[in-house]
Structure 1
């Protein structure tokens, strides 16, 4: 089968395309320059021809999940997400290097370097597990490096679980997958994640995955057969016995014989660092009760939304096959403060001064721009298999956009003044349209139409 060509980069307001960074079976990643604040970013864009309800749901889940977890210093930062004018959902992420996944086979990591990486990534995995989330695709290629040299875990969600690559079956990266996953006994557990994490540690140090034979046949079938037979190759590196014991336990054939969680495994790796006489890498875990309270609150529907959504569910048919794809219905939180390195009290005070100045400027800009324009009327026209909605431009400027909300509560931000929903004959489909300016939405206009 011929390799898929990269998709064309979408036109994104506020971003300038530079070049492609990588391509996958379900999404491509492009380098863009963000105009304000000016910085390079990586933008993951879904393939339009592969987007269906399952992919929409997975992408929405990934966006929300990354939004909750990306404050962790060892999880890839997500800046924003939206839908392009041509209907493709995209994710704007911190630009990172793929050097860890690129180099380990040719130039394996020194023990102290590998231990620092995996302890930091272990803190990220433990944090995700405590949040009730499995990564399901832990491997060297999914550990990226920031511009400051920090390892971060990437590809939670659809990109991790669906893309195809070397030595991979759909949804499974065979060289780092636990035997019970390859036997289709489970889609993933903490125990299988411990296996993948241990296999990743093994790979960084040994320069190959645990079932690979140097100079032998290492195709998907051969690797799968060896992992199922627990034919793990010797961990032939100059390492302390304590590290070998950690690897053996993580890669135990019976899940019950492995570590019961990531944290005790990482604590054993810290003990290895102590034995080697190298600096002990801290384990970053969420410890502030207020942050958990805020995170939990974000998962609940806002009080003012409940009556509207309840009424819509009772009197209208559910929305199916929307032309645009919702990934923006959750409330955006203010970006977290810088999370890498030590921050002094003096720097914190200076930051407060700067933020205060920014707030004053924001108020001044809003005052100058005045009232948010209002859409006067939305026209609903029944079309084959759905309803088409149109409206006149009330005077959008610069970065203004329309916030389109369906009766089910899904929300889409777009620049175009047309929108289409699909449904079954007799369904009543409704939307509201409001102008969004500088994070504020004006009064909304509503329209409904019946599917012919």
Structure 2
């Protein structure tokens, strides 16, 4: 089949087209110069033949989500988004280099460099998970480098969630995909994200993906068969044994044997840095106010490794809320423990976003039909707070619950229980609604007084 020609660049007010950067199955990416402030930017433009009402709706809701996520120092910055005069949605984003993904096979990264990159990216991924967002395509090519050499996570994969088809069409990157994803058992869970994160770490250090055999046949079918058979090649690199243990756990065949979330894995990578005597990279996490008062029942160690907390802007504190849960389609996850200039970038621009860089984060699969309604929420006083429970009204795929408190704080989760702590005599209220494709249905409210 002949290669598809790139689409024509749209006329965008305030931007001047320079040239094409890359083309893919779902979008083309162009280099533009923004007029004010004057700077080079990458603009991703969706193909006209893919745009329908469903795509427009998903684009709007998820661009807003991506805008919030891109405030993280290790997530690619999205400057703006809109729809061109000819009806094509587009994203304006930071221009970055794909140096990391380009060079790891020819020259694997030094261990200290790889660890620093993965700790920073891990903080970004954990932040996305806490916002109810799965990446679904973690791999070396999606770790870009800013003008100042900072690694940033890109490509949250709008295409993989809006169009069904084979692995290539759906955006699945086989060398870094978990076996349950290749078996089409799930479109993504925290456990599958842990696998891909571990496989990416393996690749940056070893110079090949985990199922890749040097000198052997490494096509998509061969790699897929090895991953499904858990035929993972030995992690034979000059590194502390503890790192091999971390990689082995992340790449466990059974999802239940992997890390429960990204955060404890990243904390273990910090421990490897400490063991090596190199500077320990802080984990950038946005602080959720409810986490300050969350009693985990675990005594914190005195020599805790650095976690750089960034305060969330909220009107009032939310106390005692459960961890956001996107670990599986049916049950809640155990909460994690607390514990170069522009010219250079333009020169490397043809590789910046090649292969359909999809910066829009589609966190949930678009599902047709009416949004289920939570009929009743039961509020039960417990020691120091209120436990709220409700019956599953029929969640499917990536549906979730939007739990909103009287203070206006909101949490997305999959669990059917939610707890708030408060002072004796204080009335606590929540409203629970089903969230589907960025939209929420009617909600049910419950209140109770703390004993």
Q: TM-score range by the shorter chain?
A: 0.5 to 0.7
Q: 1:14 to 1:223 in 2, by over 3 A?
A: same
Q: SS of the residue aligned with 2:45?
A: strand
The equivalences for 1:23-62 within 5 A come to: 23-62=23-62
1:291 counterpart residue number: 312
Count of aligned positions? 296
Cα deviation digits, residues 66-119 of structure 1 (max 9, x gap): 111010000011110111111111000011111111111111101000000000
The equivalences for 1:180-195 within 5 A come to: 180-195=180-195
Find the aligned partners of 2:317 and 2:102 in 1 and give their Cα distance. 37
Cα deviation digits, residues 170-225 of structure 1 (max 9, x gap): 23111100000111111110000000000000011111111111111111111111
Q: 1:194 to 1:288 in 2, by over 3 A?
A: closer
1:271 counterpart residue number: 271
How far off its partner does 1:157 sit? 3.6
Q: 1:160 to 1:103 in 2, by over 3 A?
A: farther
Q: SS of the residue aligned with 1:203?
A: helix
1:422 counterpart residue number: none
Unmatched 5+ residue regions in structure 2?
290-310, 319-359, 361-451
Q: SS of the residue aligned with 2:314?
A: helix
Cα deviation digits, residues 19-67 of structure 1 (max 9, x gap): 1111110111111100001111110000111212343333224311211
Which structure has more helix as a fraction of its residues?
1
Q: 1:66 to 1:215 in 2, by over 3 A?
A: same
Are residue 90 (structure 1) and residue 90 (structure 2) matched?
yes
2:178 counterpart residue number: 178
User: How large is the RMSD of aligned CA atoms in angstroms?
Assistant: 2.2
Q: SS of the residue aligned with 1:256?
A: helix
Residues 123, 263 of structure 1: 8 Å contact kept: yes
2:211 counterpart residue number: 211
1:249 counterpart residue number: 249
Residues 78, 94 of structure 2: 8 Å contact kept: yes
Q: 1:109 to 1:295 in 2, by over 3 A?
A: farther
Residues 111, 205 of structure 2: 8 Å contact kept: yes
Cα deviation digits, residues 236-280 of structure 1 (max 9, x gap): 111110000000000000000000000000000000000011111
Q: 1:57 to 1:236 in 2, by over 3 A?
A: farther
How far off its partner does 1:288 sit? 6.3
Find the aligned partners of 1:108 and 1:258 in 2 and give their Cα distance. 25
Q: Compute the TM-score of the two structures, normalised by the length of structure 2.
A: 0.63
The equivalences for 1:46-445 within 5 A come to: 46-159=46-159, 168=168, 170-287=170-287, 289=289, 291-293=312-314
Find the aligned partners of 2:143 and 2:260 in 1 and give their Cα distance. 23
Q: 1:99 to 1:138 in 2, by over 3 A?
A: same
Q: Compute the TM-score of the two structures, normalised by the length of structure 1.
A: 0.63
Bigger relative contact order, structure 1 or 2, given CA contacts below 8 A and separation 6+? 2
Q: SS of the residue aligned with 2:31?
A: strand
Residues 25, 163 of structure 1: 8 Å contact kept: no
Find the aligned partners of 1:219 and 1:61 in 2 and give their Cα distance. 36
Unmatched 5+ residue regions in structure 1?
298-326, 328-452
1:445 counterpart residue number: none
Residues 203, 210 of structure 2: 8 Å contact kept: yes
Residues 27, 47 of structure 2: 8 Å contact kept: yes
Q: 1:283 to 1:160 in 2, by over 3 A?
A: farther
Q: Which has the larger radius of gyration?
A: 1
Residues 69, 75 of structure 1: 8 Å contact kept: yes
Find the aligned partners of 1:295 and 1:95 in 2 and give their Cα distance. 36
Residues 62, 157 of structure 1: 8 Å contact kept: no
Find the aligned partners of 1:277 and 1:95 in 2 and give their Cα distance. 34
Find the aligned partners of 1:118 and 1:196 in 2 and give their Cα distance. 12
Q: 1:129 to 1:24 in 2, by over 3 A?
A: same
Q: 1:286 to 1:169 in 2, by over 3 A?
A: same
Find the aligned partners of 1:116 and 1:218 in 2 and give their Cα distance. 29
Find the aligned partners of 2:95 and 2:208 in 1 and give their Cα distance. 26
Residues 137, 157 of structure 2: 8 Å contact kept: no
How far off its partner does 1:11 sit? 0.7
Where in structure 1 do 4 or more consecutive aligned residues deviate above 3 Å? 159-164, 294-297
Q: 1:296 to 1:189 in 2, by over 3 A?
A: farther
